[in-house]
Amino acid sequence: MHDPLAVLPGYTLRRAANAMMADLSARLAPLELRVTDASVLILIDAQSGSTASGIGRILDIQRANMVPLLNRLESAGLVRRVPIDRKSFSLELTPEGASRLAKARAIMARFETDLLDRIPREHRSHLVPALNALWQP
Amino acid sequence: MHDPLAVLPGYTLRRAANAMMADLSARLAPLELRVTDASVLILIDAQSGSTASGIGRILDIQRANMVPLLNRLESAGLVRRVPIDRKSFSLELTPEGASRLAKARAIMARFETDLLDRIPREHRSHLVPALNALWQP
DNA sequence: TATTGTTATACTCTATAACTATA
DNA sequence: TATAGTTATAGAGTATAACAATA
C-alpha cells in the first residue's frame, strides 16, 4: 500500500528523525554512548565549567533527568563533577572522556556526511536552515 | 551560551521533530488522540479493510505494539475489528471514529500550515523531499 | 512454512512533583 | 526569592521473545 502520510511535513519529519537517530544510536553503541551522551560530552568540551542545569537548558533536558545521565558518564570515568561552590558543580571531561569524545566525533562526522549524501543535491543546503526555524525561539 | 550543535543536520533534525511532535501532541490532546492514533485512523480510513499487521508495517509499528493501541481505539469506540477469516481482522472506522478523524484532520491541517509558515519561504518547498530521502527505502 | 494476533516483559526517554540546601 | 541538585515516580514509546492458530 502507498503511504498517504508521506506528503505531510510533520509526518516525514518524525519518520526521518526516527530513522536517523536509530542509525546514529547504532553507530555510537560500540563506544557505549547514547546519542544524548555524545551531545552532552560535546557541550562540556565546548564550555568546560558548565553546570548540569546549564547543559540541560541548552539541550532541553530536565534537571531531574540530567542526574542519572551524569551519574552514568561519571561512573564510566568520562566526566568529573568539580564543586564550584556549596550549591553547584562544574562539569569537566576526564582524559578518558576526551578520548572517547574524539572517537564519537569521528563517528558523528561520518554520520552527518552520510545523512547529507542521501539528500538530493538541490535540497541539501536547505535542510538545516529549515529545521532550525522549526525549533529555535 | 551559544549552542555549537545547531549546525549539525542530525541534531537539528531531532530538535525540530521533538518540538513539532510536542506541539502536535498538545493540539490533539483535547480529542484524546495521540499522534500515532491519528495516523492509524488516517490509514484505516484510506484503506478500510487493512489488518493490524498491515497498518503496522506502513507506520513501522511492531505487531505487538499495535495490540494495546488498537485496544484503546476500540474501547474508545473509534475502530472496529471485523473478522476476515479465522486468522485476521479487518479494521474499520466506526461513525464515531470517522467524526473524530474529521476533527483530527482539521487540527492537523492547521498544524501543517503553521509548521510551514515558520520556515523561510526560500527553504519551504525543499523540506518534504529532503526528509523523505532520509527514511524512505 | 510464513503470517496473524496476542501476552508478557523490559528498557529508554521524558515529565512532574517534592524536598534540601544554597545563592 | 530563585536556583542547583536530587529522589521518586509515572507515562509514553519501543523492542524482543515466545506461543497458538491459521493461511
Question: What is the reported pLDDT for A3?
Answer: 87
Cβ–Cβ gap B108/A4 under 8 Å? no
High-pLDDT (> 70) share of chain B, %: 99
Residues of A in contact with B110 (CB under 8 A): none
Q: How close B35 comes to chain A (CA, Å)?
A: 9
Measured between alpha carbons, how far is A109 from B50 in angstroms, rounded to an integer?
A: 41
**Mean pLDDT, range A30-58, rounded to an integer:** 96
Q: List CB contacts (< 8 A) between A120 and chain B.
A: 129-130, 133
DSSP type of residue A30: G
CB of B36 nearer than 7 A to strand D? yes
Contacts of A5 in chain B (CB under 8 A): 39, 42-43
Cα–Cα distance, A136 to B19 (Å, whole number):
9
Per DSSP, the three-state class of A16 is helix
Task: Please provide the average confidence, as pLDDT, over all residues in chain B.
Answer: 97
Yes or no: say if B10 and A111 are a contact pair by the CB < 8 Å rule: yes
pLDDT digit string (tens) for A69-125? 999 999 999 999 999 999 999 999 999 999 999 999 999 999 999 999 999 999 999
pLDDT recorded at residue A102: 98
Whether CB of A59 is under 7 Å from strand C: the answer is no
Mutate which of A12, A36, A44, A53 to disrupt the B interface (most B C-beta within 10 Å)? Answer: A12
Task: Give the three-class secondary structure for A39.
Answer: helix
Task: Give how far B92 is from chain A: nearest CA, Å.
Answer: 16
Q: Does nucleic acid strand C have an atom less than 7 angstroms from the CB of B73?
A: no
Percent of chain A scored above 70 by pLDDT? Answer: 99
pLDDT of residue A48: 86
Kindly state the cell numbers that stand for A47: 564550555
pLDDT at B3: 87
Measured over the CA atoms of residue A124, residue A125, residue A128 and residue A134, the dihedral's sign is negative
Q: Are B90 and B50 in contact (CB under 8 A)?
A: yes
Cβ contact, residue pair B20, A13, below 8 Å: yes
Q: pLDDT at residue A1 above 80?
A: no
Contact flag A4-B124 (C-beta cutoff 8 Å): no
**Distance spanning both ends of chain B, measured CA to CA:** 39
- pLDDT of B77 reads 97
* Residue B100 confidence (pLDDT): 98
Judge whether residue B48 contacts strand C, using its CB and a 7 Å cut-off.
Answer: no
Report chain A residues whose CB lies below 8 A from the CB of B6: 132, 136
> What is the per-residue pLDDT for B69?
98
CA nearest to A30, candidates A93, A106, A94, A112:
A106
List chain B residues with CB under 8 Å of A40: none
pLDDT at B137: 87
Q: What percent of chain A has pLDDT over 90?
A: 96
Task: For residue B54, say whether its CB is under 7 Å from any atom of strand C.
Answer: yes
Query: Tens digit of pLDDT for each residue in B10-50?
Result: 999 999 999 999 999 999 999 999 999 999 999 999 998 89
The C-alpha atoms of residue A97 and residue B54 are separated, in whole angstroms, by 45
- pTM across the whole model: 0.96
Query: Would the CB atoms of A112 and B21 count as touching at under 8 Å?
Result: no
pLDDT tens for chain B, 137 residues: list them. 688 999 999 999 999 999 999 999 999 999 999 999 999 999 999 998 899 999 999 999 999 999 999 999 999 999 999 999 999 999 999 999 999 999 999 999 999 999 999 999 999 999 999 999 999 98
Please give the pLDDT value at position A9: 98
> Does the CB of B66 sit below 7 A from strand C?
yes
Strand C positions within 7 A of protein Cβ atoms: 3-9, 12-18, 21-23
